[in-house]
Amino acid sequence: MEDSIIEEGRLMAEAFEMKEGTQFNPKVLVTNTVGNVITRFVFGFRFEYGDPVFEKLAEDFELSFESFSITSLGSVFPFLYYTPLYTNFRRPIQDVVSYIKSVVNDHRRSFDPLHLRDVIDLHMAEVKGQRDENKMAAIEEGWEWKFIFELYAAGLATTTDTLRWAILIAAQHPQLVHEVQKEIDDVIGGRSPKFSDQSLMPLTGATMLEITRIRPVVPLGVPRCTSRDAVVQGYHIPKNTTVLMNLWELQTSPKYWKEPDKFNPYRFLSEDHKTIVSHRALNPFGIGLRVCLGEKLARMQLFIIFTSLLQRFTLRLADDSLSVGMEGKAGLAYGPLDYNIVLEKRNV
């Protein structure tokens, strides 16, 4: 997957370059880029920038996430999803599911067990192998669309919104960007960034950590349910209770952090600034057995795409967006408000 991310990082930087001299909202290009990493993995192809099929897919996900926010009434009273109040949630989800099923069916028609193209083919080969051996399928046929839907739902908005925070924060902190760019120039130079570069780039790594600390895009984690009665710090929590993790509190409370509202990557660096120092209260991908399944993939994307961008451009906020701050908007992920940027190309 790393090759796909490197390729998408390069293509995104090229698409940004076409915008030089204009002011633009990076959201569409970032969403398309992150979407393509998942799309290549599951479907075996990519969407060109501006492809109306992808634009509709992304819009449908966003619409449904808006109604699916953890702060929405339907999260507390799930039966409401089946009432007219949640038509806006159901219609886009149905459209997404139809599209995914149509691609899965295309794969079924053109399936060749000697030439496996992507995750859908791998799954079909697995089901066929089990059927040939008369075994009960560990993963059922017809299950593919659910798995694909979950990958998009869990991976698209979260990674896109983290990158949108990263770009906003980069535009607000020119001096820090200058130092990160020096590290990029020293370690990577003009070639494409790869994930292993991060081990030689403590300031860039610490900057990524600080971005995920100051704005956790899944601030209340994913709702979980207790499988038995439990007692936590004296509180009795009965079986079958929905529980949330308050990652926001963990990552932004003065109980755990000095000047938590200040964007300061140096808090994650050793005194000599050569090593990354982790912190127990930093858990943007959750905690425990059900920690984010896509953590490694997400970290890889964040590093490669962010460095691909800063390697080639210095960014600033457009005049109409100077007042955009750190206030966000809740959907399934917590992303920044829309903003426009202006690019200046670097000599690399």
Give the residue, chosen from 290, 329, 345, 346, that forms a contact with ligand HEM under the rule CB under 6 A: 290
Q: Backbone phi, then psi, for 12, in 5-degree steps? A: -65, -40
Q: Backbone phi, then psi, for 131, in 5-degree steps? A: -70, -40
Q: Which residues pair with 341 in a beta bridge?
A: 24, 317
In angstroms, give the least distance from the CB of 22 to ligand HEM. 28
In angstroms, give the least distance from the CB of 286 to ligand HEM. 2
In angstroms, give the least distance from the CB of 251 to ligand HEM. 11
Told to check if 265 binds ligand HEM by CB under 6 A, we report no
Decide: 184 and 43 in contact? Cβ < 8 Å.
no
What is the DSSP track for 7-36?
A: HHHHHHHHHHHTTTTSEE-THHHHHHHHHH
Three-state secondary-structure class, residue 258? coil
In the chain, what's the furthest Cα-to-Cα distance? 66
**Which single residue brings its beta carbon nearest to ligand HEM?**
294
Stretch 18-77 residues interacting with ligand HEM (CB under 6 A): 38
Decide: 263 and 173 in contact? Cβ < 8 Å.
yes
Told to check if 294 binds ligand HEM by CB under 6 A, we report yes
Nearest to 204 by CA among 317, 348, 304, 325: 304
Give the residue, chosen from 205, 284, 331, 335, that forms a contact with ligand HEM under the rule CB under 6 A: 284
Part of the chain binding ligand HEM (CB under 6 A), chosen from 54-62, 129-137, 147-155, 255-263: 147-155
Told to check if 207 binds ligand HEM by CB under 6 A, we report no
What is the residue whose two structure tokens read 């070639």? Answer: 191
Amino acid found at 105: N
Decide: 43 and 103 in contact? Cβ < 8 Å.
yes
Q: How many CB atoms lie within 10 A of CB 344?
A: 10
Give the residue, chosen from 221, 265, 328, 331, that forms a contact with ligand HEM under the rule CB under 6 A: 221
The answer to whether 225 is a known ligand-binding residue is no
In angstroms, give the least distance from the CB of 34 to ligand HEM. 8
Q: How far apart are CA 272 and CA 205, in angstroms?
A: 15
Give the residue, chosen from 158, 181, 207, 264, that forms a contact with ligand HEM under the rule CB under 6 A: 158
Told to check if 298 binds ligand HEM by CB under 6 A, we report yes
Give the residue, chosen from 228, 236, 288, 347, that forms a contact with ligand HEM under the rule CB under 6 A: 288
**Cβ proximity to ligand HEM, 154 vs 310, nearer residue:** 154
Give the residue, chosen from 31, 64, 67, 159, that forms a contact with ligand HEM under the rule CB under 6 A: 159
Amino acid found at 5: I
- What are the structure tokens assigned to 198, written together? 């991060």
Give the annotated binding-site residues for heme.
Answer: 292
Binding site residues, ligand HEM, CB under 6 A:
38, 150-151, 154-155, 158-159, 162, 217-218, 221-222, 224, 284-288, 290-294, 297-298
